[in-house]
């Protein structure tokens, strides 16, 4: 009998062939990521009950087929998403898990029948994924996994209330780090982009759920702050903060990254010069974990990110501080 941390191989739906952290117990492998707090991936087998479900196990540590019809495939994507998000936070910010206590959350796939959503829950400390329309498009893409896991991080740091302007900032935080995780992975099947949910085809026409360069492209999100912003659904009031993050990273105007073309406008006619994704993410992370609170609104998010830029890169004279101010002005936050 043998027991220990292993490295398996999986064929995912969205991210090609990936290596997976697994555990061998006796002669059976399980999707238990021993190197990352023991993160487990469970099968809900179309149930919507509140239980975790059945832990995925396998005889030879090779998982999935790359087709949604194989029940392990969505589990491969979910486990890969969880491990990549863990690695992003650990290797970028030194954060060890959602609570920074070294402990894992867990994932549940095949939730419900043709369920078209994915969600984080504070009560189970877990992420749950439906199989999407016709049970053929599980919502287990890398950016969605990073998005959902980041809800856990937000909940355990700033605690941004999930309504009004703070709710929009909460959603944007998940889009920002879901995107950062996707770029971090540099997976050739799913290279980084500033689109959210481009792999899961929820709209059925190949368009993504959200666009960070110009949020209004989704038909609902706001590009810039206005006094009515807090009345929107949080997935739309996230727009100005997503747009801020794009502008701060990449700057305004036209740009092509990993084959995707963007054209980011500014609400004040200014030209914004980006400081790069890594610095923009570091500023947002520091603001989230040190300066934002449950009631932070857009004006306070501006102050929090300026404080973070100042602490990381220098005060009012620094390029980074000035870029943060310029990017907020470009989305009508002053």
Active site residues: 148, 235
CB 118 within 8 A of CB 125: no
How many residues sit close enough to Zn ion to count as binding (CB under 5 A)? Answer: 1
The residues, ordered by sequence, that sit 6+ positions from 253 with a Cβ below 8 Å of its Cβ are 263, 264, 271
Q: Which entry of ligand ASN, Zn ion, Ca ion, none binds 195, CB below 5 to 8 A by partner kind?
A: Ca ion
Q: Which entry of Zn ion, ligand ASN, Ca ion, none binds 143, CB below 5 to 8 A by partner kind?
A: Ca ion
Q: Choose the stretch contacting Ca ion; rule: CB under 5 A; options: 137-145, 235-243, 250-258, 297-305.
A: 137-145
Query: For residue 308, what are the β-bridge partners?
Result: none
- Cβ 208 to Zn ion, closest distance in Å? 14
**CB burial class (10 A; 0-12, 13-18, 19+) of residue 164?**
middle
Q: Which entry of ligand ASN, Zn ion, Ca ion, none binds 118, CB below 5 to 8 A by partner kind?
A: ligand ASN
CB 53 within 8 A of CB 108: yes
**CA pair distance 151, 128, nearest whole angstrom:** 12
Q: Choose the stretch contacting Ca ion; rule: CB under 5 A; options: 32-40, 105-113, 185-193, 274-282.
A: 185-193
What residues line the site for ligand ASN (CB under 6 A)? 117-119, 147-148, 151, 171
State CA 58 to chain mean position distance. Answer: 28
Tokens of 110: 């095949």
The residue number with the shortest CB distance to Zn ion is 174
- Cβ 175 to Ca ion, closest distance in Å? 9
- Measured in degrees and rounded to the nearest 5, phi and psi for residue 132 equal 75, 180
Beta carbon nearer to ligand ASN, 169 or 308? 169
Q: Is the dihedral of CA 86, 184, 314, 244 positive or negative?
A: negative
Tokens of 134: 């016709």
Q: Choose the stretch contacting Ca ion; rule: CB under 5 A; options: 157-165, 174-182, 240-248, 301-309.
A: 174-182
**CA pair distance 216, 290, nearest whole angstrom:** 30
Beta carbon nearer to ligand ASN, 144 or 283? 144
- Measured in degrees and rounded to the nearest 5, phi and psi for residue 244 equal -55, -45
Beta carbon nearer to Ca ion, 195 or 308? 195
- Cβ 193 to Ca ion, closest distance in Å? 5
- Tell me: does residue 174 bind Zn ion (CB under 5 A): yes
CB 82 within 8 A of CB 33: yes
Q: Choose the stretch contacting Zn ion; rule: CB under 5 A; options: 16-24, 79-87, 169-177, 220-228.
A: 169-177
Beta carbon nearer to ligand ASN, 79 or 200? 200
Tokens of 267: 């609400």
Q: Which residues bind Zn ion (CB under 5 A)?
A: 174
Q: Which residues bind Ca ion (CB under 5 A)?
A: 143, 182, 193, 195
């Amino acid at each position: 009998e043998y027991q220990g941390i292993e490295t398996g191989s999986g064929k995912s739906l969205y991210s090609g062939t990936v290596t997976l952290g697994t555990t061998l117990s006796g002669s059976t492998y399980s999707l238990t990521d021993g190197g990352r707090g023991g993160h487990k991936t469970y099968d809900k087998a179309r149930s919507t009950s509140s239980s975790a479900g059945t832990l995925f196990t396998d005889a030879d540590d090779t998982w999935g087929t790359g087709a949604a019809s194989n029940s392990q495939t969505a589990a491969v994507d979910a486990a890969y998403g969880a491990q990549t998000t863990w690695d992003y936070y650990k290797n970028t910010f030194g954060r060890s898990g959602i609570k920074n206590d070294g402990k894992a959350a867990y994932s549940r796939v095949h939730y419900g029948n043709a369920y078209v959503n994915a969600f984080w829950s504070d009560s189970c400390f877990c992420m749950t994924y439906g199989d999407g329309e016709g049970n053929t498009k599980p919502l287990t893409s890398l950016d969605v996994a990073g998005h959902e896991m980041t809800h856990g991080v937000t909940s355990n740091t700033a605690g941004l209330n999930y309504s009004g302007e703070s709710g929009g900032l909460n959603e944007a935080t998940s889009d920002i780090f879901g995107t950062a995780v996707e770029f971090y992975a540099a997976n050739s099947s799913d290279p980084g982009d500033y689109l959210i949910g481009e792999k899961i085809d929820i709209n059925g026409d190949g368009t993504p759920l959200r666009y960070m360069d110009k949020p209004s492209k989704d038909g609902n999100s706001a590009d810039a702050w206005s006094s009515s912003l807090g009345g929107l659904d949080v997935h739309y009031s996230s727009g100005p903060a997503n747009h801020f993050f794009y502008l701060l990273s990449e700057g305004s105007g036209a740009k092509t990254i990993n084959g995707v073309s963007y054209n980011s406008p500014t609400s004040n006619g200014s030209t914004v010069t980006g400081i790069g994704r890594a610095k923009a993410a570091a500023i947002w992370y520091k603001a989230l974990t040190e300066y934002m609170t449950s009631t932070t609104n857009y004006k306070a998010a501006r102050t929090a990110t300026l404080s973070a830029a100042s602490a990381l890169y220098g005060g009012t004279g620094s390029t980074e501080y000035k870029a943060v101010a310029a990017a907020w002005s470009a989305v009508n936050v002053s």
